[in-house]
Amino acid sequence: MSRPEVAAVPILRVADVDVSLPWWARLGFVEEFRHVFESGFPRFVGIVRDGCRVYLSEHTGDAPGPSLVYLWVPDVDAIAADLGAEVEDNPWARDCEVADPDGNRVRVATAP
């Protein structure tokens, strides 16, 4: 995994990565890595889409949410249609808001 010189990566608390991963895959994210300290311990999973990373953590002390992530994509309409969300026209972007299985909100946007 190569990392840019400077980057911010949100960490979202999830109850079960096996439930969360398919939901995030609908936004185009794929699993990049998975870490478990020992068998039976909570999982920490990195996902990526076009160089944009999000970390999903089952650790109860990590990022007790729910949280909000703003995600820029080339085509918000396609994602909104897939997830059944309504797109809003704003001065800064066309966007919609959806929530993952743990209630973390994701605002998905395309520049006007």
pLDDT tens readout for residues 41-75: 999 999 999 989 999 999 988 888 899 999 999 99
Query: What fold is seen in the domain 11-110?
Result: 2,3-Dihydroxybiphenyl 1,2-Dioxygenase; domain 1 (3.10.180)
* Tens-digit pLDDT profile for residues 73-109: 999 999 999 999 999 999 999 999 999 999 999 999 9
Check residue 40 and report its DSSP letter.
T
User: Domain residues of the chain, as ranges?
Assistant: 11-110
What letter would DSSP give residue 8?
-
Structure pTM? 0.83
Residue 49 to residue 57: CA distance in whole angstroms: 18
